[in-house]
Amino acid sequence: MASVGPSAASTQPALPSGPAVFKTIPYAFILPEILCGTWVWILVAATSVSLPLLQGWVMYVSLTSCLISLLLLLSYLLGFHRNSENWKVLDSLYHGTTAILYMSAAVLQANATINSETGPNAPFTYQLNSAASFFAFLTTFLYILHAFSIYYQ
């Protein structure tokens, strides 16, 4: 006889909505991702950009990721996902892809930091670039944590 038990669909954890987003581990990373990503593009924008191609990519990745993560957070807060499994796949793919893009931006920002050690206003520019590099790597780490935690959930 077949035993009566919970189906495979009911054993999957439900996607949070509303304030529960901030209490659930994979989704609680979204707000720190947004905040750290915002610090990246503010700090890069505050420097005198010596390498526009490198730091342009950093600005593009950080600003785009920040806006898309904000939209994703709002969709979770407002419950647009309706507990669909497709949202988990979308979330995992987005955060995995963004982690790769952010890693490339963090490495380019670190290169810009090394190149800003000399020149006019070198100490101030170097400090801003160092802080931007730190937050870029921290944001990369947060995106990696989010992608893996949603994948292994």
pLDDT at residue 10, rounded to an integer? 47
Instruction: Give the per-residue pLDDT at 153.
Output: 67
Q: What is the mean pLDDT of each run of 10 residues along the chain (153 residues)?
A: 51 64 79 93 86 87 94 85 78 92 95 82 85 96 90 71
Identify the pLDDT of residue 3.
54
Helix pair angle (52-78, 30-46), 10° resolution: 150
pTM: 0.83
Length of the chain: 153
Residues with Cβ within 8 Å of 115's Cβ and at least 6 positions away in sequence, in order, are 50, 51
- The pLDDT value given to residue 17: 65
Q: Could you tell me the residue ranges of all domains in the chain?
A: 21-152
Among the listed residues 88, 84, 85, 91, the one whose alpha carbon sits nearest the alpha carbon of residue 69: 91
